[in-house]
Structure formats: C-alpha cells, structure tokens
Amino acid sequence: MKFLRLSVIVMIIAAFTVTAFAKDEKVAAVVEGKKIYMSEVNNVLQSVMARQGMKSSQLDMNSPKMQQVKKSIVENLVNRELLMLASKKNKPEDLEKKVEEEYKRVKSRFKNDKDFENALEKNQMDSAQLKEQLRKNVLLDSYVKNIESGIKI
C-alpha cells in the first residue's frame, strides 16, 4: 500500500510540470479517450532530469536506456489517468473546500505573493491551473485513503 501511495505522490509531483499541448502532436497513449501526448512525457522527463541536476544535452535521448525511461513515464501517466477516472467516481462531498485549503497551504509556503506568482510562472502555471492540479491531488488522495480504509490485515 505504501508503494501505491508513493507512486501516486510521484505522479502528482510529475503532473505539476505538465502544460497544455497541441492537438496535432504525437500521441503516446490514449486512456478512455483522453490523449497523453509525447510532449507531456518529455516534460516529465525534463522535470525529473532537472531535479537530478542533469541536462538533456548530457545524454543521448535516443539511447535504449532513455527509451525505457520514457516508456516508464508513459506507463505512469496512463496509471495516473486510470486512477483519476476511478477517483472521480468516489468524489468527496467537500472537494472544493479541500482544494481551497490545499491552495492556501501551498501559497503560505512562500514569503509573499510575488514569490508565489514567480513559482507558478517558473512551473508554467497560473492559479487556475494550480487549483485544477490540487483538485486532482485531493481526488487521488481521497481515493487512495478510501482503498486503504477497506484493507484488513
């Protein structure tokens, strides 16, 4: 169960780096009609590399190892989307309240509004996109907790 939760957390973090994509772009996967684009895969890869202090210019992006990493990212994005679909079926009643609480909590981590806005800009997001991502996070967290509560050992 901890592995599932860790996987969800990793995908949530990765999802923070995702931006909007063009409709004519190469599709990596389709989940229940929702397309996952290669640019989303590449954005997650770039984010992971940045956190590791690596630059794409240092690596052969077409090597078998990088192709395997990209495949893993696609699988994780597919799993995230499947979790999102399942979590929407068990939507908590106080979803919007929880989203607002999370938004305030995230914003309170910054010294001031300017630092907060700069962080959003750095992640290519605005407040509405952050709230949408937080909504997804709350849905996923609620879903995982629901599953955990039903497990008896």
* pLDDT band at residue 55 under the 50/70/90 scheme: confident
pLDDT score at 134: 94
- What does the alpha-carbon distance between residue 2 and residue 93 come to, in Å, rounded to a whole number? 25
Q: Are 4 and 144 in contact (CB under 8 A)?
A: yes
- Considering only residues 107 and 2, tell me which one the structure prediction assigns the higher pLDDT: 107
pLDDT in tens, 101-153: 999 999 999 999 999 999 888 877 899 999 999 999 999 999 988 889 888 88
Position 24 scores a pLDDT of 56
Q: State phi, psi for 12 to the nearest 5 degrees.
A: -65, -45
Tell me which CATH code domain 2-149 carries: 1.10.4030.10
Given a cut of 50, whether residue 8 has pLDDT beyond it is no
Query: What Å distances lie between residue 36 and 13, 72, 104, CA to CA?
Result: 17, 13, 30
Of the chain, the percentage scoring pLDDT greater than 90 comes to 45
pLDDT at position 18 is 45
d(CA 149, CA 85): 20
- The pLDDT of 14-33, averaged and rounded, is 67
Which three-class secondary structure state does DSSP give residue 35? strand
Confidence check: pLDDT of 20 > 90: no
Look up tokens 């169960």; give the residue. Answer: 1
Closest by CA to 89, choosing from 32, 11, 13, is 32
Provide the percentage of residues in the chain whose pLDDT is more than 70: 84
Best CA proximity match to 25, nearest among 16, 36, 34, 9: 36
For the stretch 63-88, pLDDT in tens is: 999 999 999 999 999 998 998 888 88
Return the amino acid letter for 4: L
Q: Which residues contact 151 (CB under 8 A, 6 or more apart)?
A: 1
Helix H or strand E segment including 44: helix 38-51
Q: What is the pLDDT of residue 17?
A: 41
Whole-angstrom Cα distance, residue 4 to residue 85? Answer: 16
